[in-house]
Chain A
Amino acid sequence: MEPFVRIKGVAAPLPIDNVDTDAIIPSRETQSVARTGYGEKLFANWRYAPGTRDRNADFVLNQAPFDSACILVAARNFGCGSSREAAVWALSQFGIRCVIAESFGTIFRNNCVRNGLLPIIMPLATVELLLDQLQDQAQDPIISVDLDAQTIHGPDGAEYPFQIGALEREMLLNGADEIDLTLQKRHLIEAFRQQDRARRPWVYQDMPELARTMEKVR
């Protein structure tokens, strides 16, 4: 996973609540098991005229300079809905490395931090101020994000601190592989399972074996 330390660049405003992962990547756009090629599919229903790849000039990511955005500022409950990880892949592969919002869908947020995409939670007043500034053509729509310092700087240079869990921060800063970290605790997993098997033996009954037994009943 690509580490995230700090970035500075164009931030696109998306002042809508409850942007769901169906909007971020429609189901019909994921017709292959591939994990790449999602950048052009991002927000397909909003970005293109129905059934085409003709760009809808009204949509923010089709407008310069937002078409080269690396940050997205949304509102409440961004990424709610389906667990599809392709929503994060689509944002990343478009070039978005950070989303700032008042709140996030829980599964989407979990997927973000495991793909090097930083989700930042800010109070609604700050989010709405940033959205206003990004839509105000008098200033450049540039935001800088520093995960190490846990701060962002808005288009007017104002600094805002943000909170993120220490483990998630470390994972993003280092681009760490979570599976490797967990497998270092393999002895603890095995010890837990040994005790748990004595306590809850029914949980450890072999399902494929049972399934085969059931097969004979058919």
Chain B
Amino acid sequence: MQSGPISLVEKLWNAHKVADLGDDTALLHIDRLFLHERSGGRMLQGVASSGRPVYDPSMVIGTVDHIIDTDPGRTDRTKFPGGPEFIKQFRDGAAAAGVGVFDIDHPYQGIVHVIAPELGIAQPGMTLVCGDSHTCTMGGIGALAWGIGITQGEHVLSTQCLAVKKPRLMRVAFEGTLLPGVTAKDMILYLISQYGARGGEGAAIEFCGSAIRDLSCEARMTLCNMAVEFGAWTGVVAPDEKTIAFMRDRPFSPQQDYNQAAEAWWLTLHSDEGAVFDHDIRIDASAIAPQVTWGTSSEQSMGIGGTIPDPGGIIDPVAKASAEKALRYTGVVPGEPIAGLPIEAAFIGSCTNSRIEDLRAAAGILRGRHIAKGVKAICVPGSTPVKRQAEAEGLDRIFVESGFEWREAGCSLCFYAGGDSFGDARRVISSTNRNFENRQGVGVRSHLASPLTVAASAIAGHIADPRDYPVQ
């Protein structure tokens, strides 16, 4: 065991270490495995065909989010070709293994990373994995959570463990106060724009500082969600009193008998004074403007008041060619302001920004306003519980009256899989996490931004500064 001060990530690591495997690698116990219908069925099928039993089905849980439609009245027949095959393989595999599934009509159905914390399945101090890169979202409540492939999913199903090489430890401190109209989404895009899409390469990042303490748990999840877009293995925020309050009275939170012990342990999960990190980054939170991406990587992000950068000044030939390729794809012009760029579609949703606070924030801008003519605008709540909560608050009416479609919960148009699409729209402002080429449709140009900026832009019909659209 280490002596002396240790970091949050090391505490989480030590609490789950089953065995040292040498080469800086440990066999870690995995407290929860989440499955979804895109990759979960293949993992279950892989284990079944190996003849091995599922080690502990009580630690595995699933839902449907990736492939199912999000249109009202949806069924198992999906717009995505091949969807029914994935859904059936997943359902059959889960039933055979004794794994519980929040299925299409279940009141808890939703995007894995949205429902897991809101149901209390994901908890501070847990290790959690899922066949989805945005599993790091749950670092926002102090869980050590990361995305895996199908082969590693089979490994967890078969052993409830994973062999993991100890990551580089990075601390990113956001100090100071955010300006009005600036959100956790802007913080993470700003970080990536400053240090590059591989700036956190392979690291476990602890996000800390006064601006992080000021964030709600939901906003911390938005921040941690995009740790993977920073190249990190995962991101995590130390649990605090806000986290304790967030976890209380959730359906799967620790039961009465254990509640106090759990909360007491969670509050020990912070970096000791003097803990050593391999890398330290410090960001002045007050310097961050609302962000919007101009290219095809999250590092190609800028303040909304800025102009598109000119790649002419880049010396490295590969970096220059990459920036020029991104400009060709997105069709934006160096030197021109990003604000005012006409958009044809707007999307609010995804595991990054589809929680109730996101919808409330966007509705604040949309209330009493209407989206611009010709803009296709879609809001997809992150989970059925979020959708119901929003409807109880009347947010659905605000979205619909402003011209947004109001959908059922799921991953939806965060990615294009060959079914649902933005129609003829080619330029989309989106609260999602990836602006990759063709990500949201063949030829679709995605501009990532906060739900506030998406809402403002939908009203304007072009990329717009949310601070110009005060809540009315």
Bound-state CA distance A202–B31 (Å) is 11
Question: A residues within 8 A CB of B231?
Answer: 77, 80, 103, 105-106
Question: A residues within 8 A CB of B321?
Answer: 15-16
Q: Which of B14-68 contact A (CB under 8 A)?
A: 15, 18-19, 21-25, 27, 29, 31, 39, 41-42, 45, 50, 52, 57-61
Chain B interface (Cβ < 8 Å from any Cβ of A): 15, 18-19, 21-25, 27, 29, 31, 39, 41-42, 45, 50, 52, 57-61, 80-82, 85-86, 89, 98-100, 102, 107-108, 121, 123, 125-126, 131-133, 146-152, 154-155, 158-161, 163, 165, 196-198, 201-202, 228-229, 231-233, 251-252, 254-255, 257-259, 261-262, 265, 296-297, 299, 316-319, 321-322, 325, 415-418, 434, 436-439, 442-443
Bound-state CA distance A75–B417 (Å) is 27
Shortest distance between the CB of B351 and any CB in chain A (Å): 12
A80-B198, A106-B202 known; A131 and B318 CB under 8 Å?
yes
Contacts A107-B146, A128-B318 aside, 12 further interface pairs with beta carbons under 8 A come to A23-B438, A45-B438, A77-B231, A83-B132, A107-B133, A107-B147, A182-B158, A185-B18, A188-B19, A189-B161, A205-B254, A208-B98
Residue from B18, B21, B155, B201 in contact with A189 in the complex, judged by beta carbons closer than 8 Å: B18
Top 10 A-B pairs, shortest CB-CB distance: A28-B418, A202-B254, A31-B82, A85-B149, A202-B258, A111-B149, A208-B100, A77-B198, A17-B322, A114-B151
B31 touches A203 (CB 8 A): yes
Bound-state CA distance A131–B57 (Å) is 48
B319 touches A179 (CB 8 A): no
Shortest distance between the CB of A120 and any CB in chain B (Å): 15
Nearest-CB residue, chain A, relative to B83: A31
A76-B318, A202-B258 known; A179 and B149 CB under 8 Å?
no
Residue from A26, A81, A178 in contact with B163 in the complex, judged by beta carbons closer than 8 Å: A178
Question: B residues within 8 A CB of A32?
Answer: 82, 85
Bound-state CA distance A211–B61 (Å) is 10
Nearest-CB residue, chain A, relative to B265: A200
A114-B152, A202-B255 known; A22 and B438 CB under 8 Å?
yes
Chain A interface (Cβ < 8 Å from any Cβ of B): 15-18, 20, 22-23, 26-28, 30-33, 35, 45, 50-51, 75-77, 80-85, 88, 103, 105-107, 110-111, 114-115, 124, 128, 131, 165-167, 178-179, 181-183, 185-186, 188-189, 192-193, 196, 200-212, 214, 218
B255 touches A205 (CB 8 A): yes
Question: B residues within 8 A CB of A210?
Answer: 251-252
What are 20 A-to-B residue pairs whose CB atoms are below 8 Å? A16-B318, A16-B325, A18-B197, A22-B437, A32-B85, A77-B198, A77-B231, A82-B133, A85-B150, A103-B201, A106-B231, A107-B149, A165-B23, A165-B165, A178-B155, A182-B155, A189-B18, A201-B258, A203-B126, A218-B107
Bound-state CA distance A105–B296 (Å) is 16
B100 touches A22 (CB 8 A): no
Bound-state CA distance A75–B316 (Å) is 11
A85 touches B251 (CB 8 A): no
Nearest-CB residue, chain B, relative to A102: B198
Bound-state CA distance A35–B121 (Å) is 31
The CB with the most chain A CB atoms within 10 A, among B50, B102, B152, B165, is that of B152
Bound-state CA distance A193–B127 (Å) is 13
Bound-state CA distance A30–B229 (Å) is 22
Residue from B161, B257, B439 in contact with A22 in the complex, judged by beta carbons closer than 8 Å: B439
B22 touches A207 (CB 8 A): no
Residue from B15, B59, B85, B254 in contact with A33 in the complex, judged by beta carbons closer than 8 Å: B85
Question: B residues within 8 A CB of A181?
Answer: 163
Bound-state CA distance A76–B318 (Å) is 9
A31 touches B100 (CB 8 A): no
A31 touches B418 (CB 8 A): yes
A206 touches B58 (CB 8 A): yes
Bound-state CA distance A6–B438 (Å) is 36
The CB with the most chain A CB atoms within 10 A, among B29, B159, B325, is that of B159
B42 touches A111 (CB 8 A): no
Nearest-CB residue, chain A, relative to B259: A202
Question: B residues within 8 A CB of A212?
Answer: 100
Bound-state CA distance A50–B418 (Å) is 13
Question: B residues within 8 A CB of A206?
Answer: 58
Question: A residues within 8 A CB of B85?
Answer: 32-33
Bound-state CA distance A71–B284 (Å) is 43
A167-B22, A207-B58, A208-B57 known; A182 and B258 CB under 8 Å?
no
Residue from B99, B146, B161 in contact with A208 in the complex, judged by beta carbons closer than 8 Å: B99
Residue from B107, B131, B202 in contact with A83 in the complex, judged by beta carbons closer than 8 Å: B131
Bound-state CA distance A51–B438 (Å) is 12
